[in-house]
Structure 1
Amino acid sequence: MASYRTDGSSLFGVGNKWGGFPAVSAGWVVSKENFLANVTAINRLALRASYGAVGNNGIDSFLYQSTLNSSNYVSGIGNGTVSTGLANLASVYSNKDITWERTFSTNLGFDLSLFKSRLNLNIDVFNSNTEKLLLENSALLITGSSSIITNAGSMNNRGFEVELSTVNVKTKDFTWSTDFNISQAKNKITELGDKTSLISPTIDGRNGLNNYAIVGQPLISYFGYKTDGVWNSTADINAAKLNGLTSTLTGDLVEGGLKIVDTNGDKVIDTKDRVILGNPYPDFTWGITNNLRYKNLDLNFTLQGVVGGELINGDVNYNEIKERVTNYMGNRWVSPSNPGDGKTPYLTNGVNPLFTDAAVEDATYFTLREVALGYSFDASKLKLSTLRLSLTGQNLFFVNNKDYRGINIEARTATSSALTDGYQRGAFPIQKTVLFGVEIGF
């Protein structure tokens, strides 16, 4: 099967509104071939392949046009004379050349059903290349705007998904089935025009807290300083200085402060020592659902999890949060004689100005996403078609990395840029929910 579609979007300017997106797919049901006709164990065996393009226009309106905001101003010439007035200032730095982001994907699939459909396996492998990425990145100060949307480069995304469903037990009174899935998706920046990296807009207004898009790396890379514990005493700091160590960073080389690693070995702690600290993309995501029924009683529960990936825990840099986190307050440096765990810095009166690996957390977790218990009554005795009671719990517990210091590992702070994902500060935690239901049919 083949198709071609053309889409237009008013979000782009003249000459860039339209995009064409072809698609083609094919399949082979192998189990229908004569050479498998006598293999009764196989209910279905099929191979699938597809190739196609999709577009993305997920940007704000009128970014191809400059917009102005009026603002009052006060000016003087140094002799006591002051004038006021109204000025029109650019609020959006336009880019008339922005157009559709396009992703070209190749997918291969394998479907297998065995033993009267009691075992079903689906495997999908994909490889996609995205061109003309729509990204928000920092703009020059001369433009009057902090950021600009551009078609910045290209990215490769590849991975797989496996789904397995089984009917484990099936009798007159009791059935038990299981559905399991696991997937992986890895992306990599392959080209950024004439650049080797892009800097995200500043996250949370903090100087130096920016994500980076770097050629050869995932779309988002956390970029900051590595640490090696804390400075326990002034004597330790002086010994390091005698060995030639200096620093150009604000808030560095102080008792109880984080010990920044001189990654390039030049004896100077400065911005050249920043390295990639992680990214928000998991190694695997998985889920498993079990469905059990005994006569009129049924029980279903789902576990979901993520393995790998990191998040930026901005909460540990702000007192209103970390003062309420026991394993932060109990482990922090207090004095040379009370150094805590040797890794957690002193409690500052303000925001730690440096972005370090101390704020990067392992994002591995799993959760009991949902559990549901129900009972269906014999409604005919009450002259009803249906009478059912149910009790459902959602997000009842999470199991995180034991060193995680946040409130809920799934929570994320909403951001406006694709390059600022993975940041967590003051995010509303995932709610636990318990529902009781009554279903009556007449």
Structure 2
Amino acid sequence: DNRYAFFPSAALSWKVNEEEFMQDMHSISNLKLRTSYGETGNSEINAYQADEIMGNYEVIFGGARAIGIGISRMGNPGLKWEKVRQIDFGVELGLFENRINIEFDWYRKRAMDMLLSAPVPRSSGYNEVSMNIGSMENKGVELALNTVNIRGKNFTWSTIFNISINKNKVIALSGGSDIYSGNTVIRVGEPVGSFFGRVHLGTWGTAEAEEARKYNMLPGDVKYLDLNKDGVINNNDRTIIGKGIPDGFGSFINTFQYKNWSLLVDLQYMYGNDVLDRSIHSAEDRQGIANSYKTVLNAWTETNQNTPIAQIRPINAYYTTNNDSHKITDASFIRGRNLLLSYTFNSNTLAHIKIDRLRVFGSVQNFFVATQYTGYDPEVSNSGSPFDQGFGLYDYPRPRVFMLGLNVGL
């Protein structure tokens, strides 16, 4: 019975600045060292996830319709808790009466017996089963910096900066083999849920017609890398073409105050992650009847052969489109998350109208985005699975929101 488990944890800290040998160091207002270790279990699963589920089925038996009961979900009695073991070392430092505050953390988090609805052979009669697939590691650093840059009689400027840098990789797989899930792969030594597909080299030109014919292709078709050099383009030529997990992310917030005026500039950033834009498949392949991106205006023609976009042909024309690196885009970005300007009235001004506090403000959320991503928004919706991050499919973008308001205190 694997329903029960033990998850210990411990933490230790040392306020170094309170020690006697630190009393003459007046510039250091806070110095704290801390470390912790703990184990947790993933409880975000159904209480009966390991059990088979019965369902109703309708069949034709003896020339008549019959209703029976069968197994609708494959069980796994050996299913165990997913355990996460984490160790952390941190430093907190305050300088000059805490006008400068720094927090630094190093961590290593290892997930053991990861839970996943993994695909199973169709011969089993099922599509997937919940199982413990292996181990994954996240290792990185986090830095937070809070500063009061200027503190004057009428003007104050403060800054908050933080960054998280993380490296993710799969440590081990219980079955020893890669786990494929459509557009992604879980492979030892690689980030979990890496994008998996063919390497897009462009399109075949008319001067390459003879070589293209070896691969059953025509000029104007997509040109793929023959990874294993066997003269055939198939699933054996797929490789890792990107990853949805970022290398780092954080924010940069500045607050300016001049007399009764206040200005907040909130920036957010992320880098090192890709998006697999699946909308490109239907918007550029022209085998269907979906609407197109304007990029199809750059499609292959005899006078425009240096292009990554295949020739536009009638529906069901003889050429193929696959999950490939052309659909991978660097989704690093800097976003203006919030711009807020406010004015707070003096209490003396408000005394005659019996209001204690009055603040007028205006803000713009999502006021700019700087990115190379060609879709609507680099922060795409994901599949809901931690193993499938960074998929784009006509995702509705974040709106730009304008607000005006009052804060009144009576």
Matched, 1:345 2:314: no
Measure, in 1, the Cα distance between the counterparts of 2:144 and 2:312: 47
SS state of the match for residue 56, structure 2?
Answer: strand
Equivalent of 1:58, from 44, 47, 52? 44
Aligned to 2:401: 433
TM-aligned CA distance change 1:331 to 1:405, over 3 Å: farther
Q: Deviations over 1:345-378 (max 9, x none)?
A: 2346479651111111111111001111111112
User: Which structure 2 residues correspond to residues 80-159 of structure 1 after superposition, within 5 A?
Assistant: 82-159=63-140
1:92 and 1:145 in contact (8 A); partners too: yes
Aligned to 1:168: 149
User: Which structure 2 residues correspond to residues 256-267 of structure 1 after superposition, within 5 A?
Assistant: 256-267=220-231
Measure, in 2, the Cα distance between the counterparts of 1:270 and 1:285: 37
Measure, in 2, the Cα distance between the counterparts of 1:99 and 1:358: 39
Displacement, 1:55? Answer: 1.1
1:375 and 1:388 in contact (8 A); partners too: yes
Displacement, 1:300? Answer: 0.5
Measure, in 2, the Cα distance between the counterparts of 1:329 and 1:323: 10
Measure, in 1, the Cα distance between the counterparts of 2:320 and 2:366: 33
Aligned to 1:6: none
1:131 and 1:154 in contact (8 A); partners too: yes
Matched, 1:246 2:212: no
Measure, in 1, the Cα distance between the counterparts of 2:86 and 2:114: 15
Aligned to 2:298: 331
SS state of the match for residue 317, structure 1?
Answer: helix
SS state of the match for residue 399, structure 2?
Answer: coil
1:135 and 1:418 in contact (8 A); partners too: no
Q: Deviations over 1:300-321 (max 9, x none)?
A: 0111111111111001011399
Displacement, 1:58? Answer: 1.8
User: Which structure 2 residues correspond to residues 39-438 of structure 1 after superposition, within 5 A?
Assistant: 39-74=25-60, 82-200=63-181, 209-233=182-206, 235-241=207-213, 245-246=214-215, 253-319=217-283, 323-326=291-294, 328-333=295-300, 335-339=301-305, 341-347=306-312, 349=315, 353-378=321-346, 379-401=350-372, 404-413=373-382, 415-438=383-406
Measure, in 1, the Cα distance between the counterparts of 2:299 and 2:23: 70
Measure, in 1, the Cα distance between the counterparts of 2:140 and 2:71: 42
Aligned to 1:35: 21
SS state of the match for residue 420, structure 1?
Answer: coil
Runs of 4+ in 1 over 6 A off after TM superposition: none
SS state of the match for residue 298, structure 2?
Answer: coil
SS state of the match for residue 6, structure 2?
Answer: strand
Could you tell me which runs of 5 or more consecutive residues in structure 2 were left unpaired when the two chains were aligned: none
- Output the amino acid matched with 2:377: N
SS state of the match for residue 375, structure 2?
Answer: coil
RMSD of equivalent CA atoms? 2.2
1:411 and 1:430 in contact (8 A); partners too: no
Displacement, 1:283? Answer: 1.8
Could you tell me which runs of 5 or more consecutive residues in structure 1 were left unpaired when the two chains were aligned: 1-14, 77-81, 201-208, 248-252
Displacement, 1:177? Answer: 0.1
2:154 and 2:258 in contact (8 A); partners too: yes
Q: Deviations over 1:317-356 (max 9, x none)?
A: 1139984533x223222x21233x5112234647965111
Q: Deviations over 1:153-188 (max 9, x none)?
A: 111110001111110111121111000011111111
TM-aligned CA distance change 1:290 to 1:324, over 3 Å: farther
* Stretch of structure 1 that moved more, 87-96 or 40-49: 87-96
Measure, in 1, the Cα distance between the counterparts of 2:60 and 2:320: 34
SS state of the match for residue 19, structure 1?
Answer: coil
- Output the amino acid matched with 2:175: D
Displacement, 1:416? Answer: 4.5
SS state of the match for residue 380, structure 1?
Answer: helix
